[in-house]
Amino acid sequence: MTSTPRALGRYVLKRRLAAGGMGEVYLGEVQGAANFTKRVAIKRILPHLAQTPGFEAKFIDEAHVMVQLHHGNIVPVLELGDEAGELFIVMEYLPGRDLRAVLQRLRSAGRPCSVELAIWLLCEVCDALDYAHRKTGADGQPLQIVHRDVSPSNVMLGASGEVKLLDFGIARARGSLHQSISGTLQGKFAYMSPEQAEGLAVDARSDIFSAGLVLYELLTGVRPLEAESETETLRRVRSAEIPPPSTHRPEISPDLDAALMRALTLRPSDRWTTAADFGRALSQAAAPYGAADPRALTRLLEELFPEGVVPEAPLPELSLDAALNAQLEAAQAANDGLAHTRTASRPQPAATPSASPSARPAVEPSTPPAEVTPHQAQLPSGAFSASPTRVPKFRWIFLGAAVASIAAAVLLLTPPAQVPLDVRVTPADAAGLRVTVNGAPHLDGATYAVGTRVDVCAAARDFQERCEGEYRVRAEANWVRLGLEPRIALVTFTATPANTEVVVEGIEAPFTQGTPRNVRLGHAVRVVYRAAGHEPLEKTYDLLALGEPRAVREALTPQVVPPDAPPAVGAASAPPTNEVVGRRTVAVTSLVVDSSPTGAEVYRGATPIGRTPLTLPAPSSPTTLTFRLSGFADLRREVGPADGPRLAVALVPAAPGFVTVRVMPPAGSLLLNGADLGTNVLDKRALPPGEHEITARFKGAQETRKVVVKAGESVVLKPFVLVAADEADPAAP
């Protein structure tokens, strides 16, 4: 149902942008001279809350706080309006997506946010927080503003690369007395500081802790304090036992680990004193990764939202039933991050709860909308009229005085239709399989309200997480099918003899045994072993069943050569020396030297004398030969007249080194020694010692670097940052 645009003061409400537990946000327009038009976002208290004690005062407090904040990283409030007794806040309109939506898409795509972009985003948030924390009033005294709800859904990302903090709806400031209604614990549990969860006084360091949790999730995709219930989440928040982010993402440097973990300490006194200090530490830690900027953010948004950075899908109508459900979720601060302050209007007199049934405003049954930020979507104008509804019972939920004040209205509402959600995951027997809906465990037979958007995810050990983001629950059958893809892991194949070549299914080039390789895990991975003079061996492994470290060991069977078999093609023809031929002893004249694998450079002392296989004059006295081959450990061998006419040595692979590097944007690709890897990230890729060439490509742009890998050492390279050839600035150097 739709309605014609409605005037609210000098503004015309065009579309409803968002709705939550506390209010609604509309896209509004104001007309000026000479056809001048300006778009704004208008926030109104939900009608059923407008007369609840404390809500109107809280709404006014929010406006008083935000109207004093003028910063490039804060959504500004333009005015607090009052039209016929209906209060509303007018804010800047910023089309784009919130950070929560970006994290959902990154998780669905199975890719992390780049380290440099994550740091840049948080530095922008820290700038906003530091400004708000230091803000003074007209008397020059600090306002002592604390946001208290720093979370991904309150970080707005504009389509042009802007980063803005919004929703100071539960902020505390000096002189504001109405922020906490009846003692209600406000803010999202998974992003709270320990002192906020304990109900203690908070200051700027509480926001620093919450900002650190946002960065942690950006870097790792993990909410470190989230549990399967609000009670357990609060317990984790109060203890604040958080592992370093490098435990989830090894490429994170010690400096970044230290800067972030200082923000996440249990005691506020151990944290960064100011958000500016935190931001400076992050900027310094970003040096190894390169720099990010608004253009990088714009490219990421365009990649993650090919349907359009500004969504166009209509938002469902918000019935009173749906609004109450949204508010209950807000009060509970569910694990999926729902619940943050929104807007709406207070009711007209005819809509008061004490009115007779005939005077009560009719409300059309609907369903709770998905959580979106105040500027997340441009949507058609919502209806202000509605149709009659039946009045069955509804369950009581006591969540403090704020929820108790609306319980009577809840009893009179029709609950939205609840339907089951059938989630099937393949493979169904994956170890550690876990299915979640909006971050909470999904149980067979669980039902969800028709029309709601849910995030369905499946994860299992040794598989990449797979998500169906923002799935809308339908009235008919709801089937969600998630196929898990095995992850890639290091596996070591060891075999004898030492010169065995290993060919793994899915890897074109053979490699020498004993070298860890990145292999796509699977239940039936075929591996072929080959070595000169031995029977080839072919085996199939269940790599998903192997424990850590993943390693297999095999032994090849030597070939049986008949005594009268002709010599192998290419065999050395030098006559054997120092052996009996008939009844004569032939004098030693030469020594045939070979290695496995062949091609090793042979040194006598420091002087190179050739590559294997080679024939040398037979030594008249003991001498030391050194064999060197890239990827193998040096081998020294002493030879003398008694060693016979032939010498064969087996080289042992050197321990690998590890390389970590990425290319930005993520649509780019990496080549290793000329071979396209089909990915934009190397995460501790095992490589044989020596020099390697790494090339990054993106839409005609290319950059090549050489890296020297040493046995047992890890190298973290500065990220490749490429700009498509057709987008490059011709004036740039």
The DSSP secondary structure of 461-530, one letter per residue, reads TTEE-EEEEEEEPPSS--EEEEEPEEPEEEEEEEEESTT-EEEETT--S-EETT--EEEE--SSEEEEEE
**Residues 28, 374: Cα–Cα separation, whole Å:** 12
Distance of alpha carbon 506 from alpha carbon 82, whole angstroms: 67
634 is catalytic: no
pLDDT(491) > 90: no
Q: Of 114-118, 294-298, 385-389, 504-508, give the lowest mean pLDDT range.
A: 385-389
Identify the band that residue 707 occupies on the pLDDT scale cut at 50, 70 and 90.
very high
Higher pLDDT: 323 or 354? It is 323
Least confident of 6-15, 263-272, 676-685: 676-685
Q: Is 108 helix (H, G, I), strand (E, B) or coil?
A: helix
Express each pLDDT in 299-347 by its tens digit.
999 989 888 887 665 454 444 444 444 443 443 333 333 333 333 333 3
Q: Would you say residue 78 has pLDDT above 90?
A: no
At 348 the pLDDT is 39
- Alpha-carbon dihedral 329, 332, 333, 338, rounded to 10 degrees: 0
Question: What are the backbone dihedrals phi and psi of residue 434, each rounded to the nearest 5 degrees, phi first?
Answer: -140, 125
Does residue 381 carry a pLDDT above 60?
A: no
- DSSP bridge partners of 708: 691
Task: Flag whether pLDDT at 389 surpasses 90.
Answer: no
59, 39 contact by CB (below 8 A): no
d(CA 150, CA 193): 10
Answer whether residue 93 shows pLDDT above 60. yes
pLDDT, position 361:
34
Which one of 70-74, 93-97, 125-129, 697-701 scores highest in mean pLDDT?
125-129
User: Given this structure, which CATH class describes domain 487-555?
Assistant: mainly beta
Encoded tokens for 474:
């339908």
Answer whether residue 211 shows pLDDT above 90.
yes
Better-predicted residue by pLDDT, 161 or 713: 161
Q: Is the pLDDT of residue 292 over 60?
A: yes
Question: Comparing 487-555 with 657-721, is the CATH topology the same?
Answer: yes
- What's the rounded mean pLDDT across residues 172-176? 51
Amino acid 374: pLDDT: 39
Asked if the model's pLDDT at residue 521 lies above 50, the reply is yes
Report the candidate in 508, 511, 515 with the shortest Cα–Cα distance to residue 633. 515
Q: What is the pLDDT of residue 318?
A: 47
Domain spanning 418-485, CATH architecture: Sandwich (2.60)
Q: What average pLDDT does this structure show over 34-51?
A: 74
Domain 580-650: assigned CATH number: 2.60.40
Of 304-308, 552-556, 625-629, 655-659, the least confident: 655-659
Residue 590 carries which DSSP code?
E
657-721 adopts what CATH topology?
Answer: Immunoglobulin-like (2.60.40)
Each residue's pLDDT tens digit, 565-618:
555 444 444 444 444 444 444 455 788 888 877 888 999 888 888 888 888 888
Q: What is the pLDDT of residue 178?
A: 40
- Spatial separation of the C-alpha atoms in residues 698 and 140, rounded to whole Å: 52
| Whole-angstrom distance, CA of residue 316 vs CA of residue 24 | 12
**CB 192, CB 237: distance < 8 Å:** yes
Confidence of residue 53 (pLDDT cuts 50, 70, 90): low
Residue type, 662: R
Contact 425, 457 (CB under 8 A): no
For the cut 80, the answer to whether the pLDDT of residue 164 exceeds it is yes
Query: Tens of pLDDT along 229-276?
Result: 777 888 899 999 999 999 999 889 999 999 999 999 999 999 999 999
Burial of 671 (0-12, 13-18, 19+ CB in 10 A): middle
Contact 574, 592 (CB under 8 A): yes
| Domain ranges, ordered by start, for the chain | 418-485, 487-555, 580-650, 657-721
Mean pLDDT over the full length of the chain? 75
Each residue of 538-565: pLDDT tens digit?
A: 999 988 888 777 888 898 888 876 655 5
pLDDT of 379 higher than 70: no
Q: Are 368 and 325 spatial neighbours (Cβ–Cβ below 8 Å)?
A: yes
pLDDT band with cut points at 50, 70 and 90 for residue 733:
very low
What residues contact 606, with CB distance under 8 A and at least 6 apart? none
pLDDT at 523: 82
Which is more confidently placed, 212 or 486? 212
SS3 of residue 164 by DSSP: strand
* Annotated active-site residue in 61, 127, 130, 149: 149
Q: Please spell the DSSP secondary structure of 14-77, one letter per residue.
A: EEEEEE-SSEEEEEEEEE-GGG-EEEEEEEEE-GGGTTSTTHHHHHHHHHHHHTT---TTBPPE
| Residue 687 DSSP one-character state | E
Confidence of residue 432 (pLDDT cuts 50, 70, 90): confident
